[in-house]
Structure 1
Amino acid sequence: MPAAPPQVSRRVAKRYLLADEQVVVSTRWHWAKLVRPAAAVLIALFLTLWVAAAVTDPAAIGFALCVLAVVCAWAGWQVLEWRCEWFIATDRRLLKTYGLITQRVAMMPLVKVTDMSYDRTILGRLLGYGRFVMESAGQDQALSHIDYIPEPDEKYQAMCETIFGRDVRDPGEDEEAWEEPEERYARGQADDPTGPRSSITRSRGTSSRWEAVDRRDLPRDWDWVDDEARGGRAATRRRVAVDPDPTPLR
């Protein structure tokens, strides 16, 4: 059965997501993030009960109750912030929404992500959460470490497939340079691909553009191979000319 699409908060989807964006990962932080506030409340409650049982001074008991109230208020604030925090990965960017009163959104385009590591501590394995570490050229500190990700194995695979499984062509690169001869011929921008000028070679110099050539203009000892077989860029399926003796002439 196909996997169910990620569930996104309506508030987050309406405010921050574009209409044509496809959500890959959408999640709140794991409930393990609330372990520390819960532990603080339990410790404060224990100390308050101990003070109430061991001390008869009303001032000391009142002070202990005030400390317990402050700790409970802080823990409640942490829970409310946890409910407002979302991590979303789409087919275009990474988003992190956080903040209860002042809402903030951290964003990183996928094209800037150069590497993503995945860590799971012993406690993370027991409770079922992990941490993603993003690396990019202009790194956003809010998205450099994504902690407390629930079901991290599935989310890591989905994000890697989206980030590193896409076409990594530079946005400013000439699209026509990587089109098939048949596609350019259909628009009237290239010769008949079945004709004598259907072969393609890389132009000399620093340019990476492709140019149509006639085989009769090249030396007879040159070989014609598939660029994909030579380990070229993603699935070009072009016929390229290869000089059997690349030694520069003197």
Structure 2
Amino acid sequence: MAYPDDLLSDDEQVVVHKHPHWKMLFFPVIVLLVVVGGGIYLATLVQETEWRTVGQIAIAVVGGILLIWFTFAPFVRWRTTHFVVTTHRLMVREGVLKRTGIDLPMSKINSVRSNQSLSDRLFGCGTLVVESASDEPLEFDDIPKVEHVRTVLYRETNDDPNDDFAPKQAR
């Protein structure tokens, strides 16, 4: 089973499954290009010196550490962050070594709203704010197509057939 299918109950279905918006990877890609370009440039500079081998090893080690820290780690963090709306709950899972998660039943969600800055609107993402029975609203940043997710989440919270206040369907 694929994630999050192994976490679902028998009658639960995934409605929306998203990772954070790809804009989170913009600066890691810039770092990748700068480190690779800078490493190639520095390697050509030390090619003509007598300490060429030591210089190339030092450049490779420093470049490798920078790439792991500033490119590979953010990519893995992005890939292992899941925002999932099911027919019964809202689930958020994030982390690689230390995994954290939030499960919020649909019946506990009071309101859903979204915020988008100008850059968020250009990229097609935004912040989703979910108010529940808890004191603090939950904010989820960089949700792709946040308006669609907000609409789906609102629809799922209000389409509960066991809810006395849900709109009745015409017969």
- TM-score bin (small chain): 0.7 to 0.9
Q: Matches of 1:81 and 1:153 in 2, distance apart?
A: 24
Residue 88 of structure 1 deviates from its aligned partner by: 0.8
Corresponding residue of 1:94: 90
Residue 52 of structure 1 deviates from its aligned partner by: 4.2
Residue 166 of structure 1 deviates from its aligned partner by: 4.3
Corresponding residue of 1:185: none
Corresponding residue of 1:19: 10
Q: Matches of 1:34 and 1:92 in 2, distance apart?
A: 31
SS at match of 2:4: helix
Amino acid aligned to 2:154: C
Corresponding residue of 2:33: 42
Q: Matches of 1:140 and 1:108 in 2, distance apart?
A: 13
TM-score normalised per structure 2? 0.74
Higher relative contact order (CA 8 A, sep 6+): 2
The 1:234/1:140 distance shift into structure 2, 3 A limit, reads closer
Residue 10 of structure 1 deviates from its aligned partner by: 1.6
Q: Is the 8 A contact 2:84 2:90 kept in 1?
A: yes
Q: Which one has a larger percent helix, Structure 1 or Structure 2?
A: 2
Q: Is the 8 A contact 2:12 2:87 kept in 1?
A: yes
Q: 1:73 aligns with which of 58, 61, 68?
A: 68
Q: Is the 8 A contact 1:25 1:90 kept in 2?
A: yes
1:109-139 deviation per Cα after TM superposition (whole angstroms, max 9, x unaligned): 2233223221122222222222202223326
Q: Matches of 1:119 and 1:102 in 2, distance apart?
A: 28
How many residue pairs are counted as aligned between the two chains?
Answer: 163
Residue 94 of structure 1 deviates from its aligned partner by: 0.9
SS at match of 1:32: helix
TM-score normalised per structure 1? 0.54
Structure of larger gyration radius: 1
1:1-250 matches, cutoff 5 A: 10-14=2-6, 16-52=7-43, 62-74=57-69, 75-138=71-134, 144-164=138-158, 166=160
The 1:113/1:155 distance shift into structure 2, 3 A limit, reads same
Unaligned runs of 5+ in 1: 1-8, 170-177, 179-232, 237-250
Q: Matches of 1:25 and 1:139 in 2, distance apart?
A: 26
Corresponding residue of 1:173: none
Q: Is the 8 A contact 1:108 1:140 kept in 2?
A: no
Amino acid aligned to 2:68: A
Amino acid aligned to 2:63: L
Q: Matches of 2:107 and 2:156 in 1, distance apart?
A: 11
Q: Matches of 1:167 and 1:146 in 2, distance apart?
A: 27
Residue 20 of structure 1 deviates from its aligned partner by: 0.9
Q: Is the 8 A contact 1:47 1:64 kept in 2?
A: no
Give the percent of matched residue pairs that are identical in Structure 1 and Structure 2.
23
Compute the RMSD of aligned alpha carbons: 3.2
Q: Is the 8 A contact 1:81 1:99 kept in 2?
A: yes
1:121-170 deviation per Cα after TM superposition (whole angstroms, max 9, x unaligned): 222222222220222332688xx22122222222221111122454795x
